[in-house]
Amino acid sequence: MSTSRYKIEALARGLEILSLFTTERPSLNLTEIVAATQLNKSTVFRLVATLVMLGYLERVPTTRSYRPGLKVLQLGFTALNGLELAQTAQPYLKSLSDKTGETTNMAIRDGTEIIYVARNATRQIIGVNVQRGSRAPAYCTSMGKAQLIDLSREELFILLGEGPYLKQGPNTITSLDALEAELGQIRQHGYAINDEELAFGLRSVAAPIRNSEGKVVAAINISFPGGRLSRQEIEANMAPKIVDTARQISSALGASPH
């Protein structure tokens, strides 16, 4: 089936403009963009002005040209970091899925959300459609909470606010006070549990991934339908496995074993 009818022309043109910038052509003026896109000057001006306003382009005053802005760099770094981490983690996640018979995932944090960058699905979890590239709120996911543990209360407030946060599942944490208390428990135990916080009937346990500088750069989890394992069984049987696997991946990234 053709997808042309779903195409948003203005978005396509904006992305086309961004794709013009290369290592050989790090900056372009309006005339050069018009020539490359073969669009009329007024259309290009509006598109470029919008991209500048959103932070995807920035104007170079001395040359009256444009170059990619910080937002483009952030997107690139997110994609590259996610790809590198996923490639490193994939064999460890596959081994963990084989041992437990459960679905394993890896996610990185992008602001208030997590992005799934690797996934080994062993079975379909009814009501939850997750794949690589999927996003979810950090405050109500095990992998999100595992990546918030190094933030101070002030940093959490700046990132998420005081609350109330949107209730996603039966047990969603909806206030900063409750989240901060939960993060304290995660720091103490070394793992985070999602007990039907994101969606009804979904539980998971996660642990953070650290790089050679000791910084949390990702998290991995084991997820399963909530009715199959109790929270006690998760903590006794699954938590040690996820913590051990996270330690192995962190070690592969150069993190200290301590």
Give per-residue pLDDT as tens, 160-190: 998 899 999 999 999 999 999 999 999 999 9
Q: What is the DSSP string of 6-20?
A: G--HHHHHHHHHHHT
Is residue 229 situated within a structural domain? Answer: yes
Per DSSP, which regions of the chain are E strands?
28-29, 57-60, 65-68, 103-110, 113-120, 135-137, 192-195, 202-210, 216-225
Average pLDDT value for residue range 136-153: 96
**Alpha-helical regions (H) of 122-175:** 142-146, 153-160
CATH number, domain containing residue 39: 1.10.10.10
129 and 202: one domain? yes
Question: Quick check: helix, strand or coil at residue 159?
Answer: helix
56 and 109: one domain? no
53 and 82: one domain? no
Q: Which of 68, 99, 115 is where one domain is finished? A: 68
Q: Which of 68, 88, 120 is where one domain is finished? A: 68
Structural domain range at position 154: 74-252
Is residue 258 situated within a structural domain? Answer: no
125 and 96: one domain? yes
Number of domains in the chain: 2
CATH number, domain containing residue 97: 3.30.450.40
Share of the chain above pLDDT 90, in %: 56
pTM of the full structure: 0.69
53 and 78: one domain? no
